[in-house]
Chain A
Amino acid sequence: MTMARQHFTPLQRLLHWLMAICILAMLFIGVGMVSTVMPKYLTLVSIHKPLGIAILVLALVRLGVRLRDGAPALPADLPEPMKLAAHLSHYAFYALMIAMPLIGWGMLSAAGYPIVLFGGVHLPPILPQSDGLHATLWTAHYYLAFAFFALILLHLGAALFHAFVRRDGVFEAMASGSSAGGVAPAE
């Protein structure tokens, strides 16, 4: 190891945990709202849309921060397949965080629905009205949501594996600041 940082920056950690809450809420709201006809359906939908746009904005900010600040190096002794999985999963996260809100926005546009954020505040359509586009985007939004949740479970399992089994500092890189982790990176 060189002098490279062992932790994500405070801004990166803030964005990570804030978005973790938003995205988990988003996915639960999503599967919840499409499975009910009760009045909470409207409440959930009215949260889902602005929260999705908030996630899109946060994801773009986060991508910029990541490109500027980079990430701590993975432990040198981490097996190559795990390193590859870590890198690929991060690409997948960024792709989903940016694509899912855009697909949702495009899907509503193609359906000719107004895209209401709150009150009288609307977003413009980003696609022309089209049943074919709507069907394609709806299918993508639906299946990618489950893929997203599966990826989160994988990420959670991997993070806990680093924290409790490998104890290699990868979990602490995002979980805590400089020396507060309690578990030193394994040598």
Chain B
Amino acid sequence: MPEPSRTPSRSALGSLVMIAAIVAGGATAFAYTAGWLSPQRLTPDKMVDALAPPGGPALGHRRNHAKGVCFTGVFDANGAGTALSKAQVFAAGQYPALGRFNLGTPDPHAADATVRVRGLGLQIATPDGQLWRSAMIDVPFFPVATPQAFYDLLLAQGSKDPNAMKTFAGAHPEIAAFGGWAKSAPWTGSYAEERFNGINSFIFVDGSGKESAVRWSLVPAAQPVPVSPDDLAKRGPDFLEQEITDRVHGGPQRWTLRVTVANPGDPTADPSKAWPDDRHTVEVGTLTVQKIEAEQDGPCRDINYDPTVLPSGIKTSDDPFPAARSAAYAKSFDRRTAEAQDYPRTATGAKP
């Protein structure tokens, strides 16, 4: 609106101040959204930074579960899963699988016998173009209840304060169950003898829209043979990779994919709480591992086993971990793909 009573210069100055204020307001809102004004916000960067060992991360490698070996094989669905989920991966049939056996350590050169937690990353592709990715561990539950608690655990583990872990355990008593598992669960000499658990709760959606809260596990066909950690240490730093390579060379290795359905009221939002053993389970198919390849030139290297890559028919639940894992895995992936020169491939595309 024209304001004839004011001099043009004074009016212009006022307008310029107003314009500057509006632009500055926009910039501030953006900075706030980006977290620059919220140092307490738990960001993917912080989570990934906290995973790094004291000497810094191993460049070019995954920031956790850094040591691993690739496998390829198939998933044979028996059709039983279609009662719970409309995802094509549960329709009777055979689908290609691409995965990675791994160790829960940020050090890709850790000696196998020194790492308590073993894992399996899995991708199953179906003809409808959808992917199902999952990253599982041999622990039957997660050590802590929330992503923030996991971050605090990483800080406590890396702390110079001798009481840091004691303080953490006081605030997060659920960690005691993991301590008990780490002490008492038998060690084995083979990835093929491990049961791998999805840990987190997801929602299966069937063809009629009915939803079921589930967790899943890969149950090995091979009989676990307990071996003491001292004996495992004598087998060499990379015995797990050598063993699984030899074993699969001798014949494919199998796991049954078992889906556990929650009862109403079971804790779905807290992966530190295992569900009772009597819950309804459905065996939906068999994973067959047919070939092992070194990670360095293997097909699993550039796969981010993001547990939120799900086919239509599976979705996330109120469990906060898949989102946190997705955010942190993406950050780890972003960093390591930018550091490929620090983890050079040995072959130059010669291997299939």
Contact = CB atoms under 8 A, between A and B. Distances in A.
A27 B29 CA distance: 11
Interface residues of A, number: 41
A27 B34 CA distance: 10
A153 interface: yes
A161 B19 contact: yes
A11 interface: no
B43 A38 contact: no
Interface in B290-306: 302-304, 306
A129 B131 contact: no
Contacts of B320: 38-39
Interface string A18-41: 000000000110011111111111
Interface in A94-133: 111-114, 119-120, 122, 129-132
B63 to A, nearest CB: 14
Interface string B303-333: 1101011011000101010111011100001
B265 interface: no
A-side interface mostly:
helix
B18 interface: yes
Contacts of A27: 30
Contact of A36 (B2, B20, B35, B128): B35
Contact of B129 (A39, A122, A165): A122
B44 interface: yes
A183 B1 CA distance: 7
Interface stretch (B66-74, B156-164, B334-342): B334-342
A88 B26 CA distance: 22
Interface string B193-223: 0000000000000000000000000000000
Interface of A: 27-28, 31-42, 45, 111-114, 119-120, 122, 129-132, 134-135, 138-139, 149, 152-153, 156-157, 160-161, 164-165, 182-183
Contacts of A156: 22-23, 26
B7 interface: no
- Chain B interface size, as a band, is 35 or more
A182 B3 CA distance: 13
B316 A157 contact: no
A113 B34 CA distance: 24
Interface in B13-34: 15-16, 18-20, 22-23, 26-27, 29-30, 33-34
A42 B336 CA distance: 22
10 contacts: A31-B30, A31-B35, A33-B327, A37-B323, A37-B324, A130-B302, A131-B337, A135-B338, A139-B338, A157-B22
A182 B1 contact: yes
B336 to A, nearest CB: 8
A48 to B, nearest CB: 12
Nearest to B334: A138
A114 B322 contact: no
Nearest to B312: A120
A143 to B, nearest CB: 13
B34 A35 contact: yes
B323 A35 contact: no
Given A42-B316, A112-B302, A32 B33 contact: yes
B43 A114 contact: no
B35 A35 contact: yes
A156 to B, nearest CB: 6
B42 A42 contact: no
A28 B26 CA distance: 11
Contacts of B26: 152-153, 156
A32 B2 CA distance: 40
Contacts of B326: 41-42, 45
Nearest to B2: A183
A135 B340 contact: yes
Nearest to A142: B334
Nearest to B48: A37
A111 to B, nearest CB: 7
B34 A31 contact: yes
A13 to B, nearest CB: 21
A82 to B, nearest CB: 15
A156 B26 CA distance: 10
A42 B322 contact: yes
A131 B302 contact: yes
B316 A36 contact: no
Given A34-B327, A165-B12, 17 more contacts: A32-B33, A39-B318, A39-B323, A40-B323, A45-B326, A112-B304, A120-B312, A131-B337, A138-B337, A149-B30, A152-B26, A153-B23, A156-B22, A156-B23, A157-B23, A161-B15, A183-B1
